[in-house]
Amino acid sequence: MTVTENRYGNEVYAELGVRPVVNAAATLTRLGGSLVAPPVLPAMAAAARNFVDIVDLGRAVGRRLAKATRNEAAYVSNGAAALLTLGVIACIARSKGGAYVIEDLPYLDKTGEKTVILFRSQRNPYDYAIRQVGVRIVEVGPDPAELEGVFDDRTACVVYFAGAHFAGGALPLEQVVRIAHKSGVPVLVDAAAQVPPVSSLWHFTTEVGADGAIFSGGKGLRGPQSTGLMVGKEWLIAAARVNGAPNHSLGRGMKVGKEELLGLLAAVEWTLQQDEPALLAAYEASVEKWITGLSGLAGIWVHRGYPSEAGQPHGRAIVEIGRESGWSRDELIGALWRGDPAIAVAPDGPRAIALNPQTLQPGEDELVLAELQRLLRSRTQEDA
């Protein structure tokens, strides 16, 4: 292969002294999220050919995305975390009676202290996207009476983190929506990595009744990494839009360009056309290939982990590394990373790694398997 044909010999990265990575870990931001879907780059290139009224374009893209995802409205910003911030701002705007710019945020000198309700078990580093608005987070447990009793005139919203990995210690979303709406409190769902299934784009809102759901544009949707999508009620999207770029409110810096707007639209429409059962079946075939190919190696035990690390409906290969293998978990992760090409895998507990098929290109499951077999056999052969 020539340099331009070999995906592991990218001359642009080489000039910068940076290596491409085979990603068997997940749609992690630190690894670039995902690889964009085929129509994304042409759409972005087309957008780059002209100036445009960015507000008009944002509204037009939002209308197309809302229709495609079966929602009242949709809005694109620069990532799911940005939309957590804008979503909370929108709920504060609603609590004051209108979708307008809140000039005194995040200090709340005029609006008064607002609170956001989170389940204690769902606290995570993305709290910062909520807290930067200036609100106070109030924790609750999985007790309906506790949730009902925490609402008052300071409550801006409930933020609920979706996914099987966040389900423990929290009430089901359906119950949360019923209780919150009974008190007139909106519910925002952070579903950043909940595609697949693609039905998540309307399940949390249209089917369950949450006021808004937030998705990363650069994970399962395979759009530009610097995008996020919020779908839901018209009032929520209107309030988020007026507090986002290019308006001068707290969300001024949370902007996307014309290229990203059309890129995400292309990605979502492409994703909705894919054969999702076939895609999930291909993931499972890779997992089975890894289990078969690594089973029987000294000190190695492999099993299927389900769901994925983000609670998605597909498996991963969980590789448990015993002392008999001659490797520790971190040594093996490091050796894979130092290889050519570099291979990224995820730690899973103190002595295991997880292999995720979602972010691999065709044939890369074989590459990952071959390198793992080589490394694992090298230590046992040395001992022999």
Is the pLDDT assigned to residue 6 strictly greater than 60? no
Is the pLDDT assigned to residue 100 strictly greater than 90? no
Question: Of the residues 250, 272, 294, which one is the last residue of a structural domain?
Answer: 272
Question: Of the residues 243, 272, 301, which one is the last residue of a structural domain?
Answer: 272
Question: What are all long-range contacts of 369-375, with beta carbons under 8 Å and residues at least 24 apart?
Answer: 369/289, 369/290, 369/293, 369/294, 371/336, 371/339, 371/343, 372/290, 372/293, 372/294, 372/319, 372/336, 373/293, 373/294, 373/297, 375/327, 375/332, 375/335, 375/336
In a domain, 5, yes or no: no
Domain harbouring 21, CATH code: 3.90.1150.180
Is the pLDDT assigned to residue 2 strictly greater than 90? no
Within 8 A by CB and 6+ apart from 23, the residues are: 31, 32, 344, 359, 360
Mean pLDDT value across residues 113-141 = 94
Q: What is the pLDDT of residues 30-84, one digit of tens each?
A: 999 999 999 999 999 999 999 999 999 999 999 999 999 999 999 999 999 999 9
Mean pLDDT value across residues 6-23 = 87
Specify whether 142 is located in the same domain as 49. yes
In a domain, 93, yes or no: yes
In a domain, 6, yes or no: no
| Sequential DSSP letters for 207-271 | IT--SEEEEETTTTT---TT-EEEEE-HHHHHHHHHTBTTSSSTBTT----HHHHHHHHHHHHHH
Specify whether 314 is located in the same domain as 217. no
**Cis bond leading into 197, ω under 30°?**
yes
Separation between Cα atoms, residue 248 and residue 100, nearest integer Å: 11
Q: What is the pLDDT of residues 311-331, one digit of tens each?
A: 899 999 999 999 999 999 999
Quote the pLDDT of residue 165: 83
Is the pLDDT assigned to residue 7 strictly greater than 80? no
Specify whether 126 is located in the same domain as 107. yes
- Strand 352-355 and strand 316-321: the pairing is antiparallel
Specify whether 267 is located in the same domain as 132. yes
Residue that has been written with the tokens 């982990």 in this structure = 305
Q: What is the pLDDT of residues 292-301, one digit of tens each?
A: 999 999 999 9
* Mean pLDDT, the chain, whole residue set: 93
Is the pLDDT assigned to residue 384 strictly greater than 60? no
Q: What is the pLDDT of residues 168-199, one digit of tens each?
A: 899 999 999 999 999 999 999 999 999 999 99
Is the pLDDT assigned to residue 5 strictly greater than 50? no
In a domain, 4, yes or no: no
Looking from the CA of 179 toward its CB, the CA atoms found within 13 Å total 19
Residue that has been written with the tokens 């504060």 in this structure = 92
Quote the pLDDT of residue 4: 37
Distances (CA, A) of 224 to 79, 240, 268: 9, 20, 11
- Residue 353 CA, chain-centre distance (Å), reads 21
Mean pLDDT value across residues 123-152 = 95
Specify whether 241 is located in the same domain as 287. no
Domain harbouring 122, CATH code: 3.40.640.10
Specify whether 62 is located in the same domain as 129. yes
**Cβ–Cβ < 8 Å for 196, 314:** yes
In a domain, 343, yes or no: yes
Q: Rounding to the nearest 10 degrees, give the CA dihedral for residues 103, 108, 113, 115.
A: 50
In a domain, 377, yes or no: yes
Specify whether 89 is located in the same domain as 210. yes
Within 8 A by CB and 6+ apart from 349, the residues are: none
Place 109 in a pLDDT band, splitting at 50, 70 and 90. Answer: low
Specify whether 248 is located in the same domain as 284. no
Specify whether 249 is located in the same domain as 104. yes
In a domain, 355, yes or no: yes
Specify whether 245 is located in the same domain as 297. no
Mean pLDDT value across residues 334-362 = 96
Domain count, the chain: 2
In a domain, 153, yes or no: yes
Q: What is the span of the domain harbouring residue 379?
A: 11-32+275-383
Quote the pLDDT of residue 322: 96
Separation between Cα atoms, residue 373 and residue 379, nearest integer Å: 11
Q: What percent of the chain has pLDDT over 90?
A: 86
Quote the pLDDT of residue 381: 60
Residue that has been written with the tokens 């870990």 in this structure = 25
Question: Of the residues 226, 248, 272, which one is the last residue of a structural domain?
Answer: 272
Q: What is the pLDDT of residues 249-271, one digit of tens each?
A: 888 999 999 999 999 999 999 99
Specify whether 168 is located in the same domain as 75. yes
Specify whether 175 is located in the same domain as 243. yes
Q: What is the pLDDT of residues 211-247, one digit of tens each?
A: 999 999 999 999 999 999 999 999 999 999 999 999 9
